[in-house]
Chains A and B, each alone.
Chain A
Amino acid sequence: EDQVTQSPEALRLQEGESSSLNCSYTVSGLRGLFWYRQDPGKGPEFLFTLYSAGEEKEKERLKATLTKKESFLHITAPKPEDSATYLCAVLDNQAGTALIFGKGTTLSVSS
């Protein structure tokens, strides 16, 4: 059973069309939730850390939010350069030190 589930798997947007990506988790005790961006053929690039429900973080057109069971990555007025795979990961009390990743959402933004 997956502990971190991301949806949708793929998302196509027009430039300027805002949307949200979802990350739901079922870990026993959340110590942190992390968002990454990954471009094709490269390693993931760290975006945000969220620690508690109600917390929000923003960076340019991206805004991450956290509830007790899920996180959203809101993309406002996306541009083609926002096209990438967005990964969500959690730190769990039982899992210890290593991040547990979801399978990602691949975002394509066309002009």
Chain B
Amino acid sequence: DVKVTQSSRYLVKRTGEKVFLECVQDMDHENMFWYRQDPGLGLRLIYFSYDVKMKEKGDIPEGYSVSREKKERFSLILESASTNQTSMYLCASSLVRGGTEAFFGQGTRLTVV
């Protein structure tokens, strides 16, 4: 089975802090994604990566950056956390460029105070 592991289930950070969310997948997938999920808005794509050191902006990249130095690891960085970034963050991976079904991690519930 595909396993996508996010480093934290719950995080509480202060406004202005730099926040790192880490994600690791163990199935040699090419693509990795970061979504955020908010009530009434559904899942929205922040960034994705189709190869090491490659990244593309999704629908809501403002205030975020990403890093993919190794194929199995994809990090989401909140440069200066704000309260409107309080959300559930979901990492996913899929096998090949061009897309297939994606497999998700368990999610990180981030609260910015």
Contacts and interface: CB of A to CB of B under 8 A. Distances in A.
Partners in one complex: yes
Interface of A: 31-32, 34, 36, 41-46, 49, 87, 89, 91, 96-99, 101-104
Interface residues of B, number: 27
Contact of B101 (A43, A49, A87, A102): A49
How would you classify the secondary structure of chain B's contact residues: helix, strand, loop or mixed?
strand
B84 interface: no
A45 B101 contact: no
11 contacts: A31-B99, A34-B102, A43-B4, A43-B107, A44-B43, A89-B102, A97-B94, A98-B31, A99-B92, A101-B43, A103-B41
A45 B104 contact: yes
Contacts of B105: 43
B107 A103 contact: no
A32 B109 contact: no
B48 A98 contact: yes
Contacts of A42: 106-107
Nearest to B96: A97
Interface string B81-113: 000000000101010011111111111010000
A44 to B, nearest CB: 5
Which 6 pairs between the two chains have the least Cβ-Cβ distance?
A43-B104, A103-B42, A101-B43, A91-B99, A97-B99, A43-B107
Nearest to B94: A97
Contacts of A49: 100-101
Contacts of A96: 98-99
